[in-house]
């Protein structure tokens, strides 16, 4: 007899399959195919494993990974909002809070709360873990753009100052990674991968 | 000045993008689109977060997650081998060991060894963590098939006894999950989602 708790867990897991069909603006490197939330979440979680040693503060890498694996789940119901879309970002928070209530409400209360707490921590951006997690989330699409002839930077004509603003969490999270970010963005600009 | 170590890490991370283009046999639920290694690795890593409480033994969930995030990286060079492909599985181990040497050799020695150890542990299937990880790896595509009108079970005419053999790691890893697996497979058989 499968318990009610496990049944809910399995329904939740099946629901998560839809993350493989939520497409982001960024493309897979070298391909004209947009990446999806599942691929993105996987990539940044592995990045956290590889890059956590460069964090300025002591961080719990395991917590960072769990946060990154689940930080975009609200997009199951709220959809992906392009980071440079000013109008779309006006009601993003409201849409995502409603999505979180619905999604985590699928699970038994203790489990839903535990996962919701990870998302809340990520959203609040107060702890070293959430700041490092945000750095991974921002750095990954930029690495893709850099290796994809400018990718969304060029396609959507994003200004260098807006890119710097978007990637700014890295500055606080890791001096060494920030040094690389500055090198990458200036090189991208000089090579015409960033328009202005 | 970006260190040689970080440079190698970033090249490794960019190389991993190719996981988004290694397609598996299993389809995304409800779609005629094969899932890829990045999506699969993400899904089973979140599954480990959700289902680790059902493990028979005390397990280090963080280690399980790290193992699952990276267990398929060898497929970057060795490709995906369909689990029911007898011929393809004859030289799978050789191809994957060569791939692991190449892949983890991209990193500084200490880091390459650390990641390689996770893969070796997963392959050896001796620790509770590696056994639980294998359970997630086996259960996920079966959940997809079950919710996809039989999926690869029907498409490749896989026998019920071969499916039971493939999913057998769950039996040792978790009594509660095994109870569900038996229910799911018998139900799938009775509903004609498994041919014979």
Nearest CA distance, B60 vs chain A (angstrom): 11
Note the CATH architecture for domain B4-190.
Orthogonal Bundle (1.10)
Give ∠ CA B164-B170-B174 in degrees, rounded to 5: 140
If DSSP codes are grouped into helix, strand and coil, which group holds residue A178?
Answer: helix
- Please give the Cα distance from B41 to B143 (Å, whole number): 15
Q: List, run by run, the mean pLDDT of 10-residue segments along chain B (196 residues).
A: 95 97 94 95 98 98 98 91 79 91 96 97 97 98 96 95 96 97 97 95
Task: State pLDDT tens for residues A24-63.
Answer: 999 999 998 999 999 999 999 999 999 999 999 999 999 9
Phi, psi of A138, rounded to the nearest 5 degrees: -85, -40
B39–A38: do the CB atoms touch at under 8 Å?
Answer: yes
Q: Within its chain, how far is the Cα of A99 from the centroid?
A: 16
Structure ipTM: 0.95
- Please give the Cα distance from B55 to B148 (Å, whole number): 27
Q: Within its chain, how far is the Cα of B31 from the centroid?
A: 20
Stretch 96-115 of chain A: residues touching chain B, C-beta under 8 Å: 111, 115
Q: Which residues of B touch A69 (CB under 8 A)?
A: 42, 45-46, 49, 65
pLDDT at res. A91:
86
Nearest to B98 by CA among B74, B72, B70: B74
- Please give the Cα distance from B41 to B44 (Å, whole number): 5
Residue ranges per domain, chain A? 4-190
- Mean of all residue pLDDT scores within chain A: 95
Task: Give the one of B3, B28, B66 whose C-beta lies nearest to A20's C-beta.
Answer: B28
- Please give the Cα distance from A85 to A123 (Å, whole number): 18
Q: Which residues of A touch B19 (CB under 8 A)?
A: 39, 42-43
Give the mean model confidence (pLDDT) for residues A151-168.
95
Q: How many CB pairs under 8 A join A and B?
A: 128
pLDDT at res. B91:
86
The model carries a pTM of 0.96
User: Does residue A1 have a pLDDT over 80?
Assistant: no
Rounded to 10 deg, the angle between the A109-124 and A61-70 helix axes is 100
Q: What residues pair up with A27 in beta bridges, in sequence order?
A: A34
pLDDT at res. A80:
79
Per-residue HEC secondary structure of B106-127 comes to CCCHHHHHHHHHHHHHHHHCCC
SS3 content of chain A, % helix, strand, coil (to 5): 70, 5, 25
pLDDT at res. A119:
97
Phi, psi of A55, rounded to the nearest 5 degrees: -65, 140
pLDDT at res. B84:
77
- Please give the Cα distance from A70 to B11 (Å, whole number): 25
Q: How many residues in chain A?
A: 196
CA pseudo-torsion sign A17, B18, B14, B64: positive
pLDDT at res. A138:
97
Give ∠ CA A68-A9-A135 in degrees, rounded to 5: 5
- Say whether residue A181 is in contact with chain B using an 8 A CB cutoff: no
Task: Give the one of B9, B38, B45 whose C-beta lies nearest to A51's C-beta.
Answer: B9
pLDDT at res. A84:
77
pLDDT at res. B81:
80
Give the mean model confidence (pLDDT) for residues A161-184.
97
pLDDT at res. B79:
82
Q: What residues pair up with B27 in beta bridges, in sequence order?
A: B34
pLDDT at res. B83:
78
Torsion of CA A76, A77, A82, A86, to 10 degrees: -160
Give the mean model confidence (pLDDT) for residues A139-144.
97
- Say whether residue B86 is in contact with chain A using an 8 A CB cutoff: no
Q: Which residue has the tokens 């060898």?
A: B74
Beta-carbon contacts of B94 under 8 Å, excluding residues fewer than 6 positions away, are none
Phi, psi of A120, rounded to the nearest 5 degrees: -60, -45
Q: Within its chain, how far is the Cα of B69 from the centroid?
A: 9
């Amino acid at each position: 007899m499968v318990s009610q708790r496990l049944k809910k867990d399995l329904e939740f897991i099946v629901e998560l399959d839809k993350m493989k069909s939520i497409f982001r603006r960024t493309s897979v490197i070298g391909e004209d195919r947009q990446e999806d939330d599942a691929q993105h979440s996987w990539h940044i979680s592995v990045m956290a494993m590889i890059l956590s040693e460069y964090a300025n503060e002591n961080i719990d890498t395991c917590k960072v990974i769990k946060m990154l694996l689940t930080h975009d789940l609200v997009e199951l119901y709220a959809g992906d909002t392009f980071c440079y879309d000013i109008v779309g970002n006006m009601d993003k928070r409201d849409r995502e809070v409603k999505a979180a209530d619905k999604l985590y409400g699928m699970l038994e209360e203790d489990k839903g709360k535990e996962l919701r707490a990870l998302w809340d921590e990520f959203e609040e951006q107060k702890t070293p873990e959430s700041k490092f997690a945000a750095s991974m989330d921002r750095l990954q699409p930029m690495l893709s753009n850099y290796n994809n002839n400018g990718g969304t930077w060029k396609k959507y004509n994003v200004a260098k100052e807006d890119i710097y603003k978007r990637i700014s969490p890295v500055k606080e999270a890791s001096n060494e990674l920030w040094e690389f970010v500055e090198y990458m963005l200036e090189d991208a600009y000089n090579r015409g991968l960033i328009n202005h």
